[in-house]
Structure 1
């Protein structure tokens, strides 16, 4: 799958966002090493903290299906019902969840405003000096 296709999948996933409180819709598309793609959207809750980000929704769906090796994720977001106009970076919690499963040096994060306008960072660039499973002496 090309980067453009991955960002396009995130844009499509954004359409399923449930964001009645913030009205900020986010979509994510996670590329597994075997080429499988999992979409995710943000899902809010009236109590706020039980909500879930698009990135974690995609990762948790993939993990549930037995995937543990991920290559990249595309993330898009912005005010619901409006065209995407700014980049949307993963929050700190999502970055930490990515760190649990991904190699910080090679896992790519694409943040876009369209399928042809996006930037790429590694997880290491977005989460320097990270804490991972190896820090627990595994």
Structure 2
């Protein structure tokens, strides 16, 4: 893409996320409690070919939430990222349509992360029990990021 398109993408993807976090963070600070969880991707750590902008966007989001954790955790608000691998839902389902068997062969667990597993992890990270999970990325990818194989 031309440089103008890249700049527009960054302004929208990163800028909107930063404005959202700022607005939500204020209400959490007023209550002195809050959990911010950025849904990221294992592509942030191990991007596949053609995922440069996607991986950059996910890493930028993770950096934003890590900074948020440092700035707000002393006032009851924590932040972290949840890195997920392929899910058979939404855009992931479309991506997997022609690649399902290859994806399954690359998963150390031999299966995709289930949507119910992703929701359970997200609910935990949003709970009061996760007060010490702060400023970090939690990876839920069935071991995919521990391998050296990519699409």
Q: TM-score, normalised by structure 1?
A: 0.25
**Which structure has the larger Rg over C-alpha atoms?**
2
The higher relative CO (CA closer than 8 Å, separation ≥ 6) is in 2
Q: TM-score, normalised by structure 2?
A: 0.24
Instruction: Kindly indicate which of the two structures has a greater share of residues assigned to strand.
Output: 1
